[in-house]
């Protein structure tokens, strides 16, 4: 029988993707209780599995009760934190937020590539600005975060010249750091002209230098989100800089450019290999490095993807596109499979499993199918 998200999707996928997105965000913003009732009812049969802490993983931004978080871009203006943290996500990242509100690129700018379970977007940081998001975050009662870390992803305004970009990041850090559990510097969106120039060690250095004082005044775990198209020759410099500036970790990756698919960034299954390769290179370089962690994002849709990440030394991941295609059931499927793995290998917690990951098989044992 189709679940509520499958029914919703059947109708929603007949409508323009951005219109559906906006209507859904408004619905979840004004009626989070109703949405929670529907999806928690679906999750109820798994509540034993989901709502104990065997899945918890410690990160620099605090414990993630579940290893899968929500990636930036879905709840840009932080309007649905109550709803998204009520799902079994381990953490939720809002944004990208810019210092001033901006409309983003002309529509249409979001497209489904259904056969490939992928999306193409050229949104261009459309958002109501950091102050509007701050009001949302300040209105949240502690219980409305459901004990989850909530981070904000920050980017420069389209009309801020590159040499002034460090001031945008500085202002954003100063405003938001006291109110979130972590911040992510976004220098990797393909949809803001020249933004990716800031991903070079030189560009990043200007930003990180501009943040030294504000970070001292108000420490907050700081991450840098990278593109899968960053040349490997740049990676060494970026990691060196991240260590020098005591960055909490790297978020890899953002969307990729595939010109043959149209202008914008590709996410989902079409991105998976590129993103996976980028993470492999990063984790290879992070071996033996203390302090820098990785948040994996890009084409992740199953426990098998997570398993590969763990085998390489990663711990937590985020999803966006797979969540659009599968809805909250994606999280329940992760939970059931992870629970099976804990039982199959006789571990009490995910921390225990990860400590022993090297001794475990190279591929995830599949979930037995019910006959």
User: Is there binding between residue 314 and ligand FMN (CB under 6 A)?
Assistant: no
Please report where in the chains the tokens 């499979």 appear, as a residue.
Answer: 337
The pair of three-digit structure tokens given for residue 86, joined into one six-digit string: 């009520």
Interface pick for ligand FMN out of 86, 96, 170, 312 (rule CB under 6 A)? 96
User: Is there binding between residue 267 and ligand FMN (CB under 6 A)?
Assistant: yes
Nearest approach, Cβ of 294 to ligand FMN (angstroms)?
A: 13
Q: Which is nearer to ligand FMN, 97 or 360 (CB)?
A: 97
User: Is there binding between residue 110 and ligand FMN (CB under 6 A)?
Assistant: yes
Catalytic residue among 86, 118, 188, 189: 189
Q: Which stretch binds ligand FMN (CB under 6 A): 51-59, 71-79, 173-181, 198-206?
A: 71-79
**Phi/psi of residue 112, nearest 5 degrees:** -90, 135
The pair of three-digit structure tokens given for residue 45, joined into one six-digit string: 């049969």
Nearest approach, Cβ of 70 to ligand FMN (angstroms)?
A: 9
Q: Write the burial class of residue 123 (CB in 10 Å: 0-12 exposed, 13-18 middle, 19+ buried).
A: buried
Long-range contacts of 134-138 (CB under 8 A, 24+ apart): 134/175, 134/176, 134/179, 136/77, 136/78, 136/79, 136/81, 137/78, 137/81, 137/94, 137/176, 137/179, 137/180, 138/179
User: Is there binding between residue 98 and ligand FMN (CB under 6 A)?
Assistant: no
Active site residue 302: no
Interface pick for ligand FMN out of 59, 192, 321, 364 (rule CB under 6 A)? 321
Distance CA 367, CA 50 (A): 17
The tally of CA atoms less than 13 A away on the side-chain side of residue 13 is 16
User: Is there binding between residue 225 and ligand FMN (CB under 6 A)?
Assistant: yes
- Give me the active site residues, please: 189
Site residues (CB under 6 A) for ligand FMN?
Answer: 71-73, 76, 95-96, 110, 119, 121, 123, 125, 153, 186, 189, 225, 254-255, 267-268, 271, 297-300, 319-322
């Amino acid at each position: 029988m189709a679940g509520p998200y499958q029914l919703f999707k059947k109708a929603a996928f007949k409508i323009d993707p951005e219109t559906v997105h906006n209507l859904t965000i408004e619905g979840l913003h004004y009626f989070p209780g109703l949405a929670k009732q529907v999806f928690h009812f679906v999750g109820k049969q798994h509540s034993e599995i989901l709502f104990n802490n065997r899945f918890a993983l410690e990160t620099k931004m605090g414990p993630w009760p579940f290893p899968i978080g929500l990636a930036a871009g879905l709840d840009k203006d932080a309007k649905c934190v109550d709803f998204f943290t009520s799902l079994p996500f381990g953490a939720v990242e809002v944004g990208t937020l810019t210092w001033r509100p901006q409309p983003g690129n002309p529509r249409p700018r979001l497209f489904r590539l259904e056969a490939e379970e992928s999306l193409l977007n050229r949104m261009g940081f459309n958002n109501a600005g950091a102050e509007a998001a701050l009001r949302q975050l300040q209105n949240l009662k502690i219980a409305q975060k459901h004990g989850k870390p909530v981070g904000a992803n920050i980017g420069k305004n389209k009309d801020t010249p590159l040499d002034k970009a460090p001031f945008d990041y500085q202002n954003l850090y100063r405003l938001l750091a006291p109110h979130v559990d972590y911040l992510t510097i976004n220098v990797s969106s393909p949809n803001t002209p020249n933004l990716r120039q800031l991903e070079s060690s030189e560009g990043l250095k200007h930003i990180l230098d501009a943040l030294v004082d504000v970070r001292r005044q108000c420490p907050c775990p700081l991450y840098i989100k990278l593109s899968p198209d960053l040349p490997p020759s740049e990676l060494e410099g970026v990691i060196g800089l991240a260590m020098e500036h005591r960055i909490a970790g790297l978020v890899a990756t953002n969307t990729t450019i595939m010109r043959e698919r149209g202008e914008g960034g590709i996410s989902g299954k079409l991105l998976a290999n590129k993103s996976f390769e980028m993470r492999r290179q990063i984790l290879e370089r992070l071996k033996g490095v203390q302090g820098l962690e990785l948040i994996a994002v890009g084409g992740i849709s199953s426990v098998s993807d997570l398993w590969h990440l763990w085998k390489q030394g990663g711990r937590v991941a985020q999803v966006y596109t797979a969540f659009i295609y599968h809805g909250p059931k994606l999280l329940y499927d992760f939970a059931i499979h992870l629970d099976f793995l804990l039982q199959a290998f006789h571990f009490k917690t995910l921390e225990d499993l990860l400590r022993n990951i090297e001794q475990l098989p190279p591929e995830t044992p599949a979930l037995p199918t019910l006959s």
